[in-house]
Amino acid sequence: MKISNKRVRLENLIGVLLFIVFILMVISCKKEKKVNKEITLPFFNSSLFTPEWISKESERYKSIHSIPNFNLINQDGKDVTKQTYEGKIYVADFFFVSCPGICPVLEKNMSILQEEFKNDKDVLLLSHTVMPSKDSVSVLKKYAEDNNVISGKWNLVTGNKDQIYNLARKAYFADEDFIKTKDENAFVHTENFVLIDKKGRIRGVYNGTLGLDTKRLIRHIKMLKKES
């Protein structure tokens, strides 16, 4: 009888211990997910810029929004396409050379990014003119020379206006006014820097006129470089 009672108590004790181990494992998994979320940048799949953390195991991972193919020309007269940035992390923005307002600040902060990552072959920059009729290759070339733009690191691109505007509005979701008005004839004017990962997916959006956001962008680029 005593042996039977001891066996029951032992079995109960083992059951309690197993339950405790199970609870600890659940808590550990939850903590691990939280940590991963904190060190992994989200994806952005629409103009609402709602951050989404999507695991590689999820069915949604296969349909994450990515930048489509494009064909533009840089300050050196060379073709710049999606393939130019394949396997690279890059920051995209939209400007025009004669812009008297936010553009000089945008390009100043782009210069900070260029300096920070000038020796890093995995990080590139891409600035699209929103006035391609005026910003020809020669105009962009002079602008590049005046602003110490490094060829191959930072592309200033011109090309077909419709293509550039579609990229701004429907690929990078950079034109906030268009998001509100849906006016196809409106001028693209945006202060956004958009962070793109090595697979062409949006991983962050930043106010390119703010020094603090530029510093945050630098931190996020370094986080993105650690992703496998």
The DSSP line for 121-181 is: TTEEEEEEES-TTT--HHHHHHHHHHTTPPTTTEEEEB--HHHHHHIIIIIS---HHHHHH
Q: Specify whether 14 is located in the same domain as 76.
A: no
Residues 135 and 67 in one domain: yes
pLDDT for the residue numbered 122: 97
State whether 159 and 177 are in the same domain.
yes
Supply the range of the domain harboring residue 48: 44-225
* Paired tokens of 71: 């064909």
Mark whether 108 and 149 lie in a shared domain. Answer: yes
Quick one: pLDDT at residue 136?
97
Q: How far apart are the first and last CA of the chain?
A: 60
Q: Are residues 98 and 211 in the same domain?
A: yes
Cα(13)–Cα(66) distance, rounded to whole angstroms? 54
- 117-129: per-residue pLDDT in tens? 999 999 999 999 9
Note the pLDDT of residue 33. Answer: 43
Q: Dihedral of the CA atoms 218, 87, 51, 94 (nearest 10)? A: 70
Looking at the fold, whether 51 and 153 belong to one and the same domain comes out as yes
Query: Any idea which residue has 């108590």 for tokens?
Result: 9
Task: Judge if 48 and 33 occupy the same domain.
Answer: no
89, 32: one domain: no
In whole angstroms, what is the distance from residue 121 CA to residue 14 CA? 56
pLDDT at 38: 56
Do 5 and 100 fall within a single domain? no
- Identity of residue 90: Y
Residues 30, 88, single domain; the answer is no
> What pLDDT was estimated at residue 178?
45
Residue 129 has phi, psi (to 5 degrees) of -75, 140
Same domain, 57 and 160: yes
Q: Are residues 142 and 185 in the same domain?
A: yes
Q: What is the CATH number of the domain that holds 188?
A: 3.40.30.10
The total domain count for the chain is 2
pLDDT at residue 164, as a whole number: 96
Q: Are 200 and 67 in contact (CB under 8 A)?
A: yes
**Strand pairing report for 89-95 and 192-196:** antiparallel
Parts of the chain with a pLDDT under 70: 1-38, 176-187, 228
